Amino acid sequence: MPADESNPQLVWNLAHDVSQVLEYHFMVNALLAGSVVAVMSGVVGWLMVLRGETFAGHTLSMMAFPGASAAALAGIPAVWGYFAFCGAGALALGGFGGRRRTWSEQSAAIGALQAAALAAGFLFVSLYGGVLGDLESLLFGNLLGVSNGQVIVLGAVALAALALLAGLTRPLLFASVDPDVAAARGVPVRALASTFLLILGLAVAATSQITGVLLVFALLVGPPASAQLITAPPGPSLALTIFLGLLVVWLGLGIAYFSVYPAGFYIATISFAVYAFVRLSARVALQRSRRLPPVRSSPSPPPRGVIA
């Protein structure tokens, strides 16, 4: 069956294919919004993975559901529900660290908050009495429908989040790597933890309305986790995180343009594929290093005048 000539055709000529993608304004906006999300999610997600707060980040991303349903029930724009519930969730998670807790206690508290938030979301939908029409966009986003105003707002939020993190870089890194020593040195560990969670929650709220709950979490975890497996120093690891995030977004949007499937599917799949490849490569390299025989240093010659 011949292909429909009205649909874009992939001809495997990079210059021609890129020109096709950039021909339409909605694709330009999608690339701009996706790039902003990739950079902001990369920086925030790198710190999130370093601090071992991936479960907390997942919980904050799920706050978009009760936020959107509560906004629909109140008859206000969904964006206010996103920010209100993500911000409240971040403050609640910060309160869980009020005293020293074990990892199991923190995970249980975070899981309980997530369950309560989802239950509240279903309650709000039931009270609303209708169908939350944007449920699919809430989960998977609609990058191909981003407006000029949304790109500007997203860029402003990203600049604010990155500026706040830049001012907290050194103490936050110190508190993330060794919180006990940082606290002994006078670093406000608890205040930094709450501030970072609030920045994470607001960043998730700003991006979820465009990228969806599942997609923003894929960008928060995939590229940072892959980069930290490849290299440990903060500078190169953070730069690699941003590069991988941009690569995942650009490839996903480019493939989706020539396909009938949504961009979120490709972006999330590519992000997971990159992580799986890096993880497998690291395991193979570790096994090979264990099989190598130990290097034996040749004995040093005896000093002159001494008979061995």
Q: State mean pLDDT over 213-238.
A: 87
pLDDT of residue 227: 94
> What percent of the chain stands above pLDDT 90?
14
Q: Using an 8 Å Cβ cutoff, are 110 and 96 in contact?
A: yes
Q: Which residue has the tokens 């290299």?
A: 231
Q: Which residue has the tokens 């949504």?
A: 262
d(CA 256, CA 265): 9
In tens, the pLDDT along 106-142 reads 778 888 888 888 898 888 888 877 665 555 666 666 7
Where do the structural domains in the chain lie, given as residue ranges? 14-290
- Supply φ then ψ for residue 3, to 5 degrees: -70, 150
pLDDT of residue 308: 42
pLDDT of residue 274: 93
Task: Note the CATH architecture for domain 14-290.
Answer: Orthogonal Bundle (1.10)
Residue 301 has pLDDT above 70, yes or no: no
CA distances from 29 to 25, 55, 77 (A): 6, 31, 22
Q: State mean pLDDT over 288-296.
A: 69
Region for 147 from its dihedrals, namely left if φ exceeds 0, alpha if ψ lies in -120 to 50, beta otherwise: beta
Per-residue burial over 243-270, b if 16 or more Cβ lie within 10 Å, else e, is ebbbebbbebbbbbbeeeebbbbbbbeb
In tens, the pLDDT along 76-96 reads 877 788 888 888 888 888 776
